[in-house]
A and B are shown apart, each in its own frame.
Chain A
Amino acid sequence: MTNPATNLFEDGKRTILVADDEFINREILSQMLKDDYDIITAEDGEQAYEIIKTHSKTISLVLLDLIMPKIGGLELLSTIKNQNEYSGIPVIVLTTDQESEVVSLNTGASDFIPKPYPRQSVVKARIHRAIELSEDRQIISDTQNDIITGLYNGEYFYEYAEAFDKYHPETDMDAIVLGINNYQVLLERYGKEKCIELLSLIAGELKKQYPQDEAILCHKEMDLFFIYCHHREDHAEKLQNVSHAVDLVFSGVKLKMGIYKQIDKNLELRNRFVRARMAYDKLQGNYHDYLYYFDDEILKKILFEEQLCSDFKTAICEEQFTVFFQPKFDITGDTPVIAGAEALVRWRHPSLDMISPGLFVPLFENNGLIYELDDYVWHKTAAMIKEWRGKFDKKIPVSVNISRAEMYDPNLANRLLNIVEENGIEISDLHLEITESAYVSDSSMIIDRVEDLRKKGFFIEMDDFGSGYSSLNMIGELPIDALKLDMLFIRSAFKNHNMKMLDIVIDIADCLEVPAIAEGVETEEQYLKLKESGCSLIQGYYFSKPLPADEFARFLQ
């Protein structure tokens, strides 16, 4: 195989330094090599060292006599091999006796050429080979190591880790992912240059904590480091040491570690780090722990989620998703009156039974399947409204949930309008529940989008109010038609007997001149209190749990 990089130099002569105090020896070598190489000569060790220092970037090889005045060959060899900027230059030692050959090779010589010199062809071949090897090695070293940290980069890391396993099949190993908390924020705060310093500081500390003979280190990407090391129990201590050293320079920087310990060697190397990464991901949004071990619980959850994703298409085709309806009652009069419903999705999985939307909705929001699921639910709901319109006189609106991810779809309004049209219902029949946190994430864009939906005639209920972080300042400007109080908010208010906050939230709705809707109402006490506080609508087990469409129909008769 030809190395494409070496072709770049095909027409260019490389430079060789010939260091020998004997004129005749220098002359013979120069004569042998001058057609193929540019030759620089040095008459003693000192001169040779000066030339190496000034020409280190252009010298491809040094031919070095061992016995020279001022600085001896062996001494010079060890000097240049111990300095990073010169150690990459290959050195071939010129020697009269075999005893020196072994010493020279051990000191870092690439090869030796005996005196008297062999034929030109032999000398040239040895030189050619030494230069080629060193250049290949240089290319590998340039590509295998990350420029910022000097650690291996991803691909080479896996290669070396695999090689390590091959020669240590019995050694217990740990796979570790180490990351920097809020790196993006640090980038903003310190700037790129400082963050590069931070990365190389961490790399340096990791090298101290995980010495080369028992660990392979990698700067995987941006703020992530991979460590593949002998199994040990003191990672927490090591993490603390690295964190401490980092904290001295960058105060407030937090490092986190996900560990898959005593890895299963039957598992592919990359997958071992996928597991470490799973453990690491558990630390996201967790402000107490800095270290997490992979365990079967994580795996179970991941496998469960994977199954849900892979079963999704079939579930849609086979209509395993069912829409349930939970009634909303108007409690402003003397007796509660049915005034609406919320459409809620349930998954009747053939082997996992009924799966709660809390388990699959966040998952599908993350991977984009939510669009298909929402379409399905909206269609089924609209079709059901249409069916009820034909059967019953009572006309109530039904609300559907618009997940946060949907707010980024510029086509959202059209999709909803199509559904209304296709099913022959009115826009006012289909209410939209948009969670409070959706408004906060990218507010101006989202607010415009909601405003647009509202202009087209949709009734907007702000869902989960009290769980997000809307500022009071902003709430007055939000385009909403109803405030839906977060279920947990209501629950904790009653549990702690703290009705003040509840009153305030209902007052906010009042102030915005929109109805307050309470969900999760379970007891008569709650119902009465909410009625007293001025809450308009109530949804919850106190009246009815979510029901299949045919059972729900009794509310419409």
Chain B
Amino acid sequence: MPTIEELKNYGANTDEALSRLMGNESFYLMLIPKVFDDKNFDQLSASIAEGDLDKAFEAAHSLKGVLGNLELTPILKPVIEITELLRHKEQADYAPLVEEILKQKEALMSLFTDR
């Protein structure tokens, strides 16, 4: 289990997140690992791969809400970016963004599993 300081170093806006969670650090630390189980990560990459931009948008949109609430900025930033592109169904190369999202997710996971 990382400390709040480590999460801050990772890039999370912990001050903002904790003010939302009534300053409850253990609640915050309990919620973050739930992100790793979120099916929307899989759905996002699968939908992008299949070219189903609507489904991809829904997944990205949901992730944006959750990650925003937890202020997990490193994952949130590429999620916001991809959400906006998908909203307008831009013909863009989504793969690098998905990759970035998964990479940042792995980085966060490692904080929780490495010890």
Listed in ascending order, the chain A residues whose CB lies under 8 Å from chain B are 21-25, 27-28, 31-32, 65, 67, 94, 96-97, 115-120
CA distance A115 to B61 in the complex (A): 11
Q: With A31-B27, A119-B19 as known contacts, state yes or no: A24 contacts B34, CB within 8 Å.
A: yes
Partner of A25, one of B16, B21, B61, B65: B65
* Contact indicator B69/A115 (Cβ below 8 Å): yes
With beta carbons under 8 angstroms apart, the residue of A21, A94, A117 that contacts B20 is: A117
In contact, A28 and B65 (Cβ under 8 angstroms): no
B22 touches which of A22, A23, A32, A118 (Cβ 8 Å)? A32
Chain B facing A: main interface SS: helix
Known: A28-B31, A115-B68, A115-B69. A120 touches B62 (CB 8 A): no
Asked if A22 and B65 make an inter-chain contact with CB atoms under 8 angstroms apart, the answer reads yes
Enumerate chain A residues within 8 angstroms of B22, measured Cβ to Cβ: 31-32, 120
A67/B58 in contact, CB under 8 A: yes
Asked if A24 contacts B27 (CB within 8 A), the reply is no
Which chain B residue has the least Cβ–Cβ distance from A65? B65
A67 CB to nearest B CB, Å:
5
Q: In whole angstroms, how far apart are the Cα atoms of A25 and B66 in the complex?
A: 6
Known contacts A28-B20, A115-B69; A23/B61 CB under 8 A = no
| Cβ contacts under 8 Å, B61 to chain A | 67, 96-97
Are A21's CB and B31's CB within 8 A?
A: no
B19 surroundings in chain A (CB, below 8 A): 119
- Residue ID in chain A nearest B65 by CB atoms: A115
Query: Contacts A27-B31, A31-B21; is A116 near B62 (CB within 8 Å)?
Result: no
On chain B, the residues within 8 Å of A117 by CB distance are 20, 69
* Contact status B66-A24, CB under 8 Å: yes
Tell me the chain B residues, 54-106 only, with Cβ under 8 Å from chain A. Answer: 58, 61-62, 64-66, 68-71, 87
B29 contacts chain A at the CB level, 8 A cutoff: no
Contact between B20 and A96 (Cβ–Cβ < 8 Å)? no
Whether B34 contacts A23 by the Cβ 8 Å rule is yes
Chain B, 31-49, CB within 8 A of any chain A CB: 31, 34-35, 38
Asked if residues B62 and A24 are in contact (CB atoms below 8 Å), the reply is no
B3 at the interface (CB under 8 A from A): no
B110 interfacial contact with A, CB 8 Å = no
Q: Which residues of A contact B62 (CB under 8 A)?
A: 21-22, 67
**B69 x A24 contact (CB < 8 A):** yes
- Chain A contacts for B34, CB-based, 8 A: 23-24, 27
Q: In the bound complex, do residue A96 and residue B64 qualify as a contact, i.e. CB atoms below 8 Å apart? A: yes
Interface residue tally on B, bucketed by range: 20 to 34
Q: How far is the CA of A118 from the CA of B68 in the complex (A)?
A: 11
Q: Is B68 a contact of A24 with CB atoms below 8 Å?
A: no
Min C-beta distance of B41 to chain A, whole Å: 12
- Bound complex: CA A116 to CA B35 (Å): 15
B87 closest partner in A (C-beta): A97
Known contacts A24-B34, A28-B21, A116-B20; 17 further A-B pairs (Cβ under 8 A):
A22-B62, A24-B31, A24-B66, A24-B69, A25-B65, A31-B22, A32-B22, A65-B65, A96-B61, A96-B64, A96-B65, A97-B61, A115-B65, A118-B20, A119-B19, A119-B20, A120-B22
Q: CA–CA, A406 to B20, complex, Å? A: 82
Q: Which residues of A contact B35 (CB under 8 A)?
A: 24
For B21, the chain A residues whose CB sits under 8 A away are 28, 31
Q: How far is the CA of A94 from the CA of B65 in the complex (A)?
A: 9
**In the complex, chain B residues whose CB is within 8 Å of the CB of A23:** 34
Interface centre among B21, B31, B35, B66 (most CB of A within 10 A): B66
B73 to chain A, nearest CB (A): 11
Name which residue of chain A comes closest to B37, CB basis.
A23
Which residue of B is nearest A100, CB measured? B61
Q: Which residues of B contact A118 (CB under 8 A)?
A: 20
28 A-B interface contacts by CB (under 8 A): A21-B62, A22-B38, A23-B34, A24-B31, A24-B34, A24-B35, A24-B69, A24-B70, A25-B66, A27-B31, A27-B34, A28-B20, A31-B24, A31-B27, A65-B65, A67-B61, A94-B65, A96-B61, A96-B64, A96-B68, A97-B87, A115-B68, A115-B69, A116-B68, A116-B71, A117-B69, A119-B20, A120-B20
* Most A CB within 10 A of own CB, among B19, B31, B38, B69: B69
How many Å from the CB of A25 to the closest CB on chain B? 6
Chain A proximity of B90: nearest CB distance (Å)? 16
Which A residues touch B68, using CB under 8 A? 96, 115-116
Name the CB-closest residue of A to B30: A27
Note all chain B residues with C-beta closer than 8 A to A67. 58, 61-62
**Could you tell me if A25 and B69 are in contact, using CB atoms closer than 8 angstroms?**
yes
Complex Cα distance, B31 from A27, in Å, reads 8
Q: Which residues of A contact B64 (CB under 8 A)?
A: 96, 115
Chain B min CB distance to A125 (Å): 15
- Chain A min CB distance to B68 (Å): 4
Q: Smallest CB-CB separation from A20: which chain B residue?
A: B65
Q: Which A residue sits closest to B80, measured CB to CB?
A: A96
Do the beta carbons of B58 and A28 come within 8 Å of each other? no
Give bound CA distance, A94 to B24, whole Å.
Answer: 22
CA–CA, A117 and B35, complex, Å: 17
Nearest Cβ distance between residue B30 and chain A, in whole angstroms?
A: 8
CA distance A118 to B16 in the complex (A): 10
